[in-house]
Amino acid sequence: QSALTQPASVSGSPGQSITISCTGTSRDIGTYNIVSWYQQHPGGAPKLIIYEVTKRPSGISYRFSGSRSGNTASLTISGLQAEDAADYYCWSYSVSGTLVYGTGTKVTVL
């Protein structure tokens, strides 16, 4: 079962910025700077867009940025574009030595 809580949905108009939160506990996000974010379009495999809280893999747009404060991590998408419409998942390393994952957020571009 998911251990990290995300809003079920977030929406925005093209060009706007949106932020997706990912709330964990002191056993995961609150202790480790090991949070990653994945984007998934319908029928496709997950795609890494942020790792180690703030790092972007090669080829990922600067419009995606990550942060962490306390037990909550956040993903911000600036300059929202139609192709950003997808499901987004956060993952965090935990004290159990395993990865815990978020409930997922559906992003809609209005």
Partner 1 sequence: EVQLLESGGGRVQPGGSLRLSCAASGFTFRSYAMSWVRQAAGKGPEWVSGISGGGGTTYYADSVRGRFTISRDNSKDMVYVQMDSLRAEDTAIYYCAKGVESIRYYYGMDVWGQGTTVTVSS
CA atoms of 91 and 87, how far apart (whole Å)? 13
Ranges within 1-30 binding partner 1 (CB under 8 A)? 2
- Count of CA atoms in the C-beta half-sphere (13 A) of 68: 24
Rg value, the chain, Cα = 13
Cβ-based nearer residue to partner 1, 34 or 85: 34
Q: Which is nearer to partner 1, 15 or 44 (CB)?
A: 44
- Determine the Cα–Cα distance for residues 77 and 81; give it in Å rounded to an integer: 9
Q: Examine residue 99 and tell whether it contacts partner 1 (CB under 8 A).
A: yes
- Identify residue 83 by its one-letter amino acid code: E
Q: Which two tokens stand for residue 33?
A: 């700077």
CB of 68 to partner 1, least distance (A): 15
How deeply is 19 buried, as exposed, middle or buried, from its count of CB atoms within 10 A (0-12, 13-18, 19+)?
Answer: middle
Identity of the residue, 17 or 45, whose beta carbon is nearer to partner 1 in the bound complex: 45
Of 40 and 61, CB closest to partner 1: 40
69 part of the interface to partner 1, by CB under 8 A: no
Binding residues (CB under 8 A) for partner 1: these are: 2, 34, 36, 38, 40, 45-48, 51-52, 55, 57, 87, 89, 91, 93, 96-99, 101-104
